[in-house]
Amino acid sequence: MMSAAHADPHETSSLSKERVKVGVIGGGAWGTALAIHASARHETVVYARETDVVEAINDPAVRENTTFLKGHKVPEGLRATGSMAEAVEHAEVILMVVPTQFVARTMTDLAKLLKPNQIVVSCTKGISVDSLETVNQILTRVLPEALHSRLAYLSGPSFAAEVAKGIPTAVTIASKEDEVAARVQDLLSTNRFRCYRTTDVQGVELGGALKNVLAIGCGISDGLGFGCNGRAALITRGLSEMTRLAVALGAHPLTMQGLAGMGDLVLTCTGDLSRNRTVGVRLGMGENLKDIIDSMKAVAEGVLTSQSAHQLAKKLGVSAPIMDGIYRVIHEGADARNIVSEVMCRPLTAEVDPSILQAAARPA
């Protein structure tokens, strides 16, 4: 018998044993990690538009995504395909894992293949730069109304490489229909991947998107050598800004204290695997943004989301000086040291915004 220390990292000895079919749309690092996770319990097919990704995953001599998730072998039961139709055929749950800027196009194509009984779970974190829509708003715009009640959203502190390794992880599943959230929660939870649930879709969406902006800010701070004090201040006051903006858009403030808010924020701002933090560190050390982006295979969502956050805060009249400063450093070439001085020397205020206290009194 294997000891606990040598147990299969993807063992599913606890929780439900029900087996269904799962389709994953998107063969990047996160899509591949979720496909590896899902295949421990379910028959899983991952769709990737990159031919080399499909071939490497299916090749018995390779069996890994050598382009986006190198070093993580995929289970024998996991298949990859270049056909979106093949990935979603007969699937009860479809995990949508594509960058925000491609969601509308991808889901417009996918809508022609979906059946009313299928559940679509968005695993994308971002806000459209052009329309300022969250992914939920994009999906409800491009998908038929009959599918709106079958939408769910997965977010929380979850680096792709660690999920692929089977390292214990906790996430949140959001859906406006609690029954749908509970169904996804049941199907995706294992003894290494615990799902909680909520009906606050807006809060979960905004937490997952805005934390990427603040992670770039923390990276810039670290790159400048501002230390642990500076990082802690950025995380804490950044969470306050996230909460103000989310509440202004209809979210409940308690959601920002959970896995999709504070949990993901802490992970992304402090973890060395964070793409967004890495972008910030390199900016803080004096590198050019274009050179940084060109050198990365994966997308750092926070670069684009910083524009969306800046526009939303301005549109809603929400005070977000930290996110505004990060936007100015990324897109206007502002000196980060000057931004820090500006933020630190603003008029002194109470720590908790009265609007947050009022919103917290509402039922969660």
69/67 Cα distance (integer angstroms): 6
Instruction: Kindly compute the dihedral angle of the four CA atoms of residues 50, 51, 53, 56, in this order, to the nearest 10 degrees.
Output: -170
Which one of 115, 211, 297, 314 is the catalytic residue?
211
Give me the chain's average pLDDT, please.
94
A 10 A CB-CB count for 112 gives 9
What is the model's pLDDT at position 109?
A: 95
Residue 171 β-bridge partners? 195
What is the model's pLDDT at position 191?
A: 95
The pair phi, psi for residue 63, each rounded to 5°, is 55, 45
194/186 Cα distance (integer angstroms): 9
Q: Measured between alpha carbons, how far is residue 240 from residues 75, 124, 237, 293 in Å? A: 41, 23, 5, 28
Q: Is 211 tagged catalytic?
A: yes
- Give burial (CB, 10 Å; 0-12/13-18/19+) of 118: middle
Stretch 91-119: mean pLDDT? 96
255/240 Cα distance (integer angstroms): 12
What is the model's pLDDT at position 122?
A: 98
pLDDT tens column, 50-77: 999 999 999 999 999 999 999 999 999 9
Residue 7: pLDDT band by 50, 70, 90 thresholds?
Answer: very low
Percentage of the chain with pLDDT > 90?
Answer: 91
Instruction: Kindly compute the dihedral angle of the four CA atoms of residues 253, 257, 260, 264, in this order, to the nearest 10 degrees.
Output: 140
pLDDT tens column, 176-225: 999 999 999 999 999 999 999 999 999 999 999 999 999 999 999 999 99
- Nearest alpha carbon to residue 208 among 183, 231, 236, 242: 242
- Nearest alpha carbon to residue 154 among 129, 187, 131: 187
What is the model's pLDDT at position 11?
A: 52
What is the model's pLDDT at position 13?
A: 45
The pTM (predicted TM-score) of the whole model is: 0.93
Task: Give the distance from CA 189 to its chain's centroid.
Answer: 17
Answer yes or no: is pLDDT of 14 > 60: no
Answer yes or no: is pLDDT of 361 > 90: no
What is the model's pLDDT at position 8?
A: 53
pLDDT tens column, 222-244: 999 999 999 999 999 999 999 99
Percentage of the chain with pLDDT > 70?
Answer: 96
Answer yes or no: is pLDDT of 1 > 80: no
Which domains are present in the chain? 4-199 (3.40.50.720), 203-358 (1.10.1040.10)
